[in-house]
Chains A and B, each alone.
Chain A
Amino acid sequence: MDNNKSGLMKLDPMTPEAVKVKKIFWETEDVFTIELVYDSDEKREFSYKPGQFNMLYAFGVGESAISISSDSSKKNSLLHTIHKVGYVTNVLSKLKKGDIIGLRGPFGSSWPLEEAKGKDICIIVGGIGLAPLRPSIYHILKHRKQYGKFVLLYGARTPRDILYPVELESWRKKYDIQIEVTVDRADSTWRGHVGVVTTLLNYVELNPEKTMAMVCGPEIMMKYAVDELIKHGVTEKEIYVSLERNMKCALGFCGHCQYGPSFVCKDGPVFSFSKVTDIFEIKEL
């Protein structure tokens, strides 16, 4: 039976495939990145879209939904940048090069990079939220001429929590992109911005008529970012958010990730804000 109409996966979507850890390293004190490759001689490629996620399986422990954070045009390996917060991610953080883990995916919707062509792009991310947008950043930088002005606003907890600092610096130097980084708290050695990520909009000149925004971070941070964008005149349908809910099956069957009428695993995680406007403010939905 064809149990995978999405065409995204080759096998039964409930069965993890074996993948090998090629590299694992700490980005910050509690965030690490794993690079995964197929554990077979057969030349197989990963195929996914920026914004999608995988279910990573640690043998005998369980699964966790993790966004893909690598360049989707490089198909030999996959990167996942993971916040060590729970049981599964704790076990994943202790993996060594050469270990085998399970992978199901890719799942979910992606950032609207096609619709964004010709528009100014404003990416607002907070915390680990930079990771799910990194594939989009790679894509836009690679096809820089297809897009207008490109702004990345990034908020982290402290200077030590800033992800990909070397890469941020090289993007700044090599490409036509405005990058502003702020932290919530810092000591006197920090020379950058301090304050919530939305204050960075003060340093950006947006043309709201032709701006598309992509927002990712804790839901409360996204709420403030969306409010500010709307205040600046960006329309709801041009704002995209990536939502987090409890993803168990990732196939739209198990029900856990329901958000109003949507299954976040299948209809999301990336939504046009206009699709969730009516329910975004409802408590405990």
Chain B
Amino acid sequence: MKTIDKSNLDKIIGILKKDGYTVIGPIVKDGAIVYDEIESINDLPVGWGDEQEAGSYKLVKRNDDSLFGYVVGPQSWKKFLFPQRMKLWEAGREGRGFKINHSDEPVPKYAFLGVRSCELKAIFIQDKVFNNDMYTDSYYNNVRNNIFIISVNCTQSASTCFCVSMKSGPKAKDGFDISLTEVINKEGHYFVLDEASEKGKELTEMLDAQTATEQQIKAADEAIASAELSMKRSMNTAGIKELLYHNHDHPNWAEIATRCLSCANCTLVCPTCFCHTMEDTTDLTGDHTERWRRWDSCFSLDYSKVAGGSFRTSAKARYRQWMTHKLASWIDQFGTSGCVGCGRCISWCPVGIDITSEVEKIRNSPKNKIINQ
């Protein structure tokens, strides 16, 4: 374990940029912390924090100049690995047929600065989605294989967080190149640094890093522990797959549907939701066409459409699909829950539907209480 100061964090950004990386980090934009390209630590949300509740998110000024004093915003890193809209190919008419051209744009080389532990877990989950037993998504994996990850451990939690329940935080345990824990106390403002990869070690060697003292490590651990201790929400995941599989007809789904707007916000902010659709767009001459891949949501009516009609016409069935997939069938599909406990779907739901309390309502209904005993 080492420690570095702010100027060395800036140095990391410089080294990565020199090395050809596009460095992505948190910035303040449109009243939220979002992820975008950064040039230096000056672009980071210095002194900003966030307050979140079901159906609410707002930025607040902190009384320190921390760089990572917020929790999570509406975006996640999936937008770089699995872009919201992406051209797969284009084609031109040729005789009675067509010719397909692929874009020859180079694969982006990203360095992610500020990846939360839950977000790291979300990336691991999408790794499984886009590399299944039969096929590999080339764009995702090409980007993924080039990525440099600097994770930042959480030292506070939002009221919507429940990563402890999902065993995905607040501390990043592996899968990063470098991890940082930001500490601000009377000793100063520093980052406790841990390297996990060869690339991470090489980079650390180029820094002016000190060996971390026991006290510094303890301060970092305590900060992470305070995030864990202050976590208000939780989700009881015991037997959750069976619970949801056996409650397709639970009255709570209809109750949720009276509130749910089917707006798809939860699926868009979720760092693991992967559903997308294909769209063909053709110009007015009819001679040039493009195939685009864009995010889609199980909340849309077209999502389950076949020639004969849609399979899930009611909002109730669509919410049930989303939640049952996320928390139950995901386990059968990918060997892991699809939820990392980041709480985004709670904060960004315009009507404040809270996945943790919906699970609780189903679990605590009289019929299921008997099952639970």
Chain A residues close to B by CB (< 8 Å): 1-6, 12-16, 18, 20, 39, 59-63, 83, 85-86, 89, 98-102, 218, 244-246, 248-249, 251-256, 258, 260-261, 263, 266, 278, 282-285
Give Cα A18–Cα B89 distance, bound, in whole angstroms.
14
In the complex, the answer to whether B280 meets A60 with C-beta atoms within 8 Å is yes
Give Cα A59–Cα B248 distance, bound, in whole angstroms.
41
- Scoring B135, B303, B316 by chain A CB atoms within 10 A of each residue's CB, the highest score goes to B135
Can you list 7 pairs linking A and B with CB atoms under 8 Å apart? A60-B98, A60-B289, A62-B280, A253-B135, A254-B296, A255-B296, A278-B245
Answer whether residue B332 sits at the interface, using C-beta atoms and an 8 A cutoff.
yes
Give Cα A99–Cα B314 distance, bound, in whole angstroms.
41
Identify which of A5, A60, A85 contacts B307 (C-beta below 8 A).
Answer: A85
Nearest 10 pairs of A and B residues by beta carbon: A100-B97, A284-B317, A255-B275, A261-B332, A85-B307, A60-B282, A261-B329, A60-B289, A3-B136, A251-B135
Answer whether residue B38 sits at the interface, using C-beta atoms and an 8 A cutoff.
no
Answer whether residue B306 sits at the interface, using C-beta atoms and an 8 A cutoff.
yes
Give Cα A59–Cα B98 distance, bound, in whole angstroms.
7
B116-158 with Cβ < 8 A to chain A: 129-130, 132-138, 141-142
Secondary structure at chain B's binding surface: helix, strand, loop or mixed? Answer: mixed
Q: Which residues of B contact A12 (CB under 8 A)?
A: 102, 138
Identify which of A62, A102, A256 contacts B275 (C-beta below 8 A).
Answer: A256
Beyond contacts A6-B135, A282-B248: 13 other A-B pairs, Cβ-Cβ < 8 A, are A4-B134, A18-B98, A20-B97, A59-B91, A59-B93, A60-B289, A85-B308, A102-B98, A253-B132, A253-B135, A256-B277, A282-B249, A285-B317
A15-B275 contact given A60-B286, A252-B132, A282-B248, CB 8 Å threshold:
no
Q: Which residues of B contact A248 (CB under 8 A)?
A: 276-278
Q: Which residues of B contact A256 (CB under 8 A)?
A: 275, 277, 296, 303-304
Q: Which residues of B contact A85 (CB under 8 A)?
A: 307-308
Name the residue of chain A whose CB is nearest to the CB of B283: A60
In the complex, the answer to whether A244 meets B306 with C-beta atoms within 8 Å is yes
A1-B275 contact given A18-B98, A253-B129, CB 8 Å threshold:
no
In the complex, the answer to whether A253 meets B130 with C-beta atoms within 8 Å is yes
Min distance, Cβ A64 to any Cβ of chain B, angstroms = 9
Q: Which residues of A contact B93 (CB under 8 A)?
A: 59-60
| Binary flags per residue of B294-310, CB closer than 8 Å to A gives 1, else 0 | 00101000011111100
Q: Which residues of A contact B317 (CB under 8 A)?
A: 283-285
Count of interface residues, chain B, beta-carbon cutoff 8 Å: 52
In the complex, the answer to whether B314 meets A98 with C-beta atoms within 8 Å is no
In the complex, the answer to whether A246 meets B286 with C-beta atoms within 8 Å is no
Q: Which residues of B contact A254 (CB under 8 A)?
A: 275-278, 296
In the complex, the answer to whether B88 meets A14 with C-beta atoms within 8 Å is yes
Min distance, Cβ A28 to any Cβ of chain B, angstroms = 16
Name the residue of chain A whose CB is nearest to the CB of B303: A256
Min distance, Cβ B299 to any Cβ of chain A, angstroms = 12
In the complex, the answer to whether B134 meets A100 with C-beta atoms within 8 Å is no
Identify which of B98, B248, B304, B305 contacts A100 (C-beta below 8 A).
Answer: B98
In the complex, the answer to whether B135 meets A284 with C-beta atoms within 8 Å is no
Name the residue of chain A whose CB is nearest to the CB of B330: A261
Name the residue of chain B whose CB is nearest to the CB of A247: B306
Min distance, Cβ A91 to any Cβ of chain B, angstroms = 11
In the complex, the answer to whether A253 meets B276 with C-beta atoms within 8 Å is yes
In the complex, the answer to whether B298 meets A255 with C-beta atoms within 8 Å is yes
Name the residue of chain B whose CB is nearest to the CB of A265: B134
Q: Which residues of B contact A5 (CB under 8 A)?
A: 133-136
Q: Which residues of B contact A285 (CB under 8 A)?
A: 248, 311-312, 317, 321
Give Cα A224–Cα B129 distance, bound, in whole angstroms.
35
In the complex, the answer to whether B132 meets A1 with C-beta atoms within 8 Å is no
In the complex, the answer to whether B136 meets A284 with C-beta atoms within 8 Å is no
Answer whether residue B344 sits at the interface, using C-beta atoms and an 8 A cutoff.
no
